[in-house]
Amino acid sequence: MNSYCLATYRCYDEKADFHKKALGIAVGLTVGSWTELPEAQKAQMEKHLGKVISVEVHEPASSDSALERYADIQIAYPDVNYSRDIPALLVTVFGKLSMDGKIKLIDLSFSSDFLSGFPGPKFGMKGVRDLLGVHDRPLLMSIFKSVVGYELPALREQFYLQAAGGVDLIKDDEILFENPLTPLEKRIEVCMEAAAQASKETGQKLLYAVNLTGPTFQLAEQAKKAIRAGANALLFNVLAYGFDVLHALSSDPEITIPIMAHPAMAGAVYPSPHYGMSASVLLGKLMRLAGADIVLFPSPYGSVVMPREENLAIKHALLTEDLRKDYLYGESSIEPRLAASFPVPSAGIHPGLVPLILRDFGGDVIVNAGGGIHGHPMGTIAGGQAFRQAIDATLKDQSLRDYASTHPELQKAIDTWGIKE
């Protein structure tokens, strides 16, 4: 029996016949030609033919010339046409078509059959919580302030100060590559040492996501080298390497630590209304499908802004959405539900935003800050503590202002950055 993956496009055109366009996509990106085929051949080719599922045309009210005419077109692509890998699916549904005028891939769903090739996140949200032993609150992550050009002692000091403030995760800067000042193995050694020192004081565990970089074909070996050196998490610039590489790394049984996906370069693809892919596909569904345990994406709060509804769509794709949508089927006997990826809305976060983040994301979120920790007037340790206090206050349903009256670090953070509700 045939199975299909589903792609939804938003196409803009002032006067196109969108139904004809949809048919052109369904035929052109599968069997190539249809109406002129002999009947006998049609029977044989039917299972390779794409199907138009829906065409929703949005005509602008004639009074408002600023609105554009567009249609949302959903096409079902037969799984029999492509292999069970992300490049094959993406080239099929948005290879040539990506260059065909104003068109954006706004949704993508996978059949049970296609999904069966993807184990998904090895740890996922629950696995990351298990590693840290924290199940009752949002996690806190911090980012190094400056790393390029710094030597090991300076890096170790920065690491310790972050860890001592009570953060759960620390990530490398995504622009820190293999370099003579802080080479991978040495960096892991001194940072894990600093983590152990802080742990004695805080009683907490900590994950350090070290940046996995270098030539593609050496990444798996590089990851294993990091693990041998003591790394307990990896940071990975997925879009610079491709989703299939993340899939290969996440499903490698010898890579036994969580992978954190960085969204570097994503802004080349998601923000245009007319081109590219929606953020929920790019940073949501595909990241989870490819097995990211933790996914960073631009928050709706800070300097690098993404609209709130797009953010919540990413969250939904990472946490709760069933990526499987079987066309022509009822319930499948297979249950290929993937583990949830931990969402990390990032950029511009300070303690005064914590109640808002928790309202938008619930408890299953990693609060992530850089400047909001290092820039604390009382120092980096106080910066981490202020965030932990903001999280505690919010979970206890207390206002930040009240809680701050007995927590000077939070008070100072509020004095500096304010509260946004």
Q: Which of residues 99-128 bind a second copy (CB under 8 A)?
A: 99-100, 102-103, 105
> Could you tell me the two tokens for 248?
């290969």
Amino acid in the structure at residue 100: D
- The minimum distance between CB 77 and a second copy, in angstroms, equals 10
Q: 13, 72, 189, 244: which one contacts a second copy (CB under 8 A)? A: 244
DSSP notation for 372-409: HHHT-TT-HHHHHHHHHHHHHHHHTT--HHHHHTT-HH
Contact letters for a second copy, residues 293-312 (x by CB under 8 A): -----x----xx-x------
Q: 10, 21, 156, 262: which one contacts a second copy (CB under 8 A)? A: 262
> Could you tell me the two tokens for 322?
């069933």
Give whichever of 59 and 309 is closer to a second copy, judged by the CB atom: 309
Spell 1-20 as b/e; 16+ CB within 10 A means b. ebbbbbbbbbbbeeeeebee
Stretch that binds a second copy, among 51-59, 195-203, 273-281, 321-329 (CB under 8 A): 273-281
Q: 119, 127, 267, 379: which one contacts a second copy (CB under 8 A)? A: 267
Q: Does 148 bind a second copy (CB under 8 A)?
A: yes
Give whichever of 244 and 392 is closer to a second copy, judged by the CB atom: 244
Stretch that binds a second copy, among 10-18, 275-283, 352-360, 397-405 (CB under 8 A): 275-283
Segment 301 to 360, residues that bind a second copy, using CB under 8 A:
303-304, 306
Segment 19 to 48, residues that bind a second copy, using CB under 8 A:
29-33, 44-45, 47-48
Quick one: how far is CA 317 from the chain centroid? Answer: 9
Give whichever of 80 and 196 is closer to a second copy, judged by the CB atom: 80
Q: Does 379 bind a second copy (CB under 8 A)?
A: no
CA distances from 54 to 21, 71, 189, 245 (A): 12, 10, 55, 33
Q: By CB under 8 A, how many residues form the interface with a second copy? A: 72
Q: 55, 248, 317, 400: which one contacts a second copy (CB under 8 A)? A: 248
Query: For residue 63, how many other CB atoms are within 10 A of its CB?
Result: 6
Spell 364-390 as b/e; 16+ CB within 10 A means b. bbbbbbbbbbbbbeebbbbbbbbbbbb
Amino acid in the structure at residue 311: N
Whole-angstrom Cα Rg for the chain: 24
Q: 119, 127, 230, 271: which one contacts a second copy (CB under 8 A)? A: 271
Contact 409, 386 (CB under 8 A): yes
Contact letters for a second copy, residues 44-63 (x by CB under 8 A): xx-xx---------------
Cα 283–Cα 277–Cα 321 angle in degrees, nearest 5: 50
Show which residues are catalytic: 96
Segment 175 to 234, residues that bind a second copy, using CB under 8 A:
175, 177-179, 213-217, 220
Give whichever of 202 and 237 is closer to a second copy, judged by the CB atom: 237
